[in-house]
Amino acid sequence: MYESLVEITGLEIFAAFVSAAMPVAFLVPFVIIAVYLERKVSAHMQDRLGPMRVGYHGLLQTIADFFKLIQKEDIVAEGIDKKFFNFAPFLVFAGSYAVYAALPFSSKYIGSETDLGIFYIIAISGLVVAGILMAGWTSNNKYSLYGAMRSAAQIISYEIPTALVILSIIMWTGTMSLATMSEMQTAYFWNWNILGGPEWGITKFVLIPFLLVAFIILYVSTLAEVNRTPFDMPEAESELVAGYHTEYSGMKFAMFFLAEYGNMFAVSAIVSVIFFGGYQSPFGYLGNTLGIEWLVPFEQVFWFAAKGIFFVFVQMWLRWTLPRVRVDQLMTICWKYLIPYSFVNLLVIGIITLL
């Protein structure tokens, strides 16, 4: 009995390790593709070609840059706190990667199917703030410190409208599980929460304008939380060199880069799960039509990734369309507009749900 218990425990540990490592198999190729797409999107929006030399139309440029990064010398300036300076990039990446544990890639694969999925994501993402503050403070560089303080103030501020919108959706759906939210928005686009959810009736159509407002507030807030233009004040190159990662080079800089693009997809995936059906197909499943049930989970992974990548593309689109706001405008947008609007929206959705 003891040997069998050890064997089962060993298998469970191995299965848990494989399950935890699977998002890496998605994240690393995604970052390589997203960096290439960002270069191409920005180039075509500015009537340029972008990278063209390494591979066909520059397809291998990002891979070449990756190999260049891992060969870079790890430069550490004098006067810094080396222990925490070295630890900060890993903490930022850990906070970003831990979010993927609660993302439902399909009905058959969820890292950790917890009933408090969205609450866990809000909580664990706070590690990113701690890592950024640590990076800025230990760099012994005033520009890094300014960037870190800006980032902490920005992320903490915009977490409030994000939480209020999520709370309003929790009241409407009655669950904090992202997997359950996806399952509720069954496999057709008219059942998505952005269109009032799967329940039909007058309530569905009354809620649509308020759910649309909630989506806009959530998307703008998550844009600010991942420090993307027009809210990229922590990394404002014209003011702060490179913000909190000014003193970082080589793979430590790459860890920040990986975390940033990982966050971009994570918040896009959360938006898609809450409002756009998550892994659910907008048109039904080919596997069900053909009677091939094992095909459905693969279709779900495709739709989940496609929706997330679409919202990442919108983030890139906005970066090369809108100018950067000032620090005072950044806080005004949050405290004067998004928080009051999201609070009123929360009350209205709560009253409609109650009635």
Query: pLDDT, tens digit, for every residue of 22-37?
Result: 888 888 889 888 989 8
Q: Can you give the pLDDT at residue 238?
A: 64
Strand pairing partners for 110? Answer: 104
User: Where residue 2 falls among pLDDT bands split at 50, 70, 90?
Assistant: very low
6 vs 12: CA distance, rounded Å: 10
The pLDDT value recorded for residue 1 is 44
Positive/negative CA dihedral, 229, 233, 238, 241: negative
Query: What is the Cα–Cα distance from 272 to 250, expressed in whole angstroms?
Result: 33
φ, ψ (nearest 5 deg) of residue 322: -105, 145
Residue 7 has pLDDT above 60, yes or no: no
Long-range contacts of 70-77 (CB under 8 A, 24+ apart): 70/250, 70/251, 70/254, 72/249, 72/250, 72/251, 73/249, 73/250, 74/249, 74/250, 74/251, 74/252, 75/249, 75/250, 77/139, 77/140, 77/141, 77/247
Residue 195's H or E segment, with its range, is none
Mean pLDDT (whole number) for 192-204: 79
Pairwise CA distance, residues 161 & 207, whole Å: 19
Q: Kindly report, residue by residue over 122-149, the tens digit of the pLDDT.
A: 888 888 888 888 888 888 888 888 888 8
Average pLDDT over residues 338-353: 92
The pLDDT value given to residue 237? 65
Instruction: Give CA–CA dist 106/168, Å, rounded.
Output: 24
Give the C-alpha distances (Å, rounded to integers) separating 84 from 92, 135, 167, 223, 244: 12, 7, 35, 28, 13
What local confidence, expressed as pLDDT, does residue 219 receive?
A: 94
Q: Write phi, then psi, for 104 (nearest 5 degrees).
A: -85, 100
pTM assigned to the model? 0.89
Instruction: Assign 3-class secondary structure to 272-332.
Output: HHHHCCCCCCCECCHHHHHCCCCHHHHHHHHHHHHHHHHHHHHHHHHHCCCCCCCHHHHHH
Which residues are registered as beta bridge partners of 188? 283
* Phi, psi for residue 199 in degrees, rounded to 5: -80, 130
CA distance 24 to 2: 34
Instruction: State percent of the chain over pLDDT 70.
Output: 95
| Residues 6+ positions from 28 with CB-CB distance below 8 Å | 258
For residues 82 and 312, which has the higher predicted lDDT (pLDDT)?
312
Tokens of 259: 């975390």
Rg of the chain over Cα atoms, rounded to whole angstroms, equals 21
pLDDT at 24: 83
pLDDT at 5: 47
Inter-residue contact 269 to 38 (CB < 8 Å): no
pLDDT in tens, 266-298: 999 999 999 998 899 888 888 888 888 888 889
Residue 214 contacts residue 169 (beta carbons within 8 Å): yes
* pLDDT tens by residue, 111-121: 777 788 888 89
Q: Is 54 in contact with 232 (CB distance < 8 Å)? A: no
The encoded tokens of residue 326 equal 């000032």
The residue with greater pLDDT, 106 or 19, is: 106
Is the pLDDT at 347 greater than 50? The verdict is yes
Tokens standing for residue 1 = 């009995």
Give the mean model confidence (pLDDT) for residues 301-306: 92
Task: Give residue-wise pLDDT tens across range 137-184.
Answer: 888 888 888 888 888 888 889 999 999 999 999 988 888 889 889 888
Q: Report whether the peptide linkage leading into residue 198 is cis, meaning its omega lies within 30 degrees of zero.
A: no
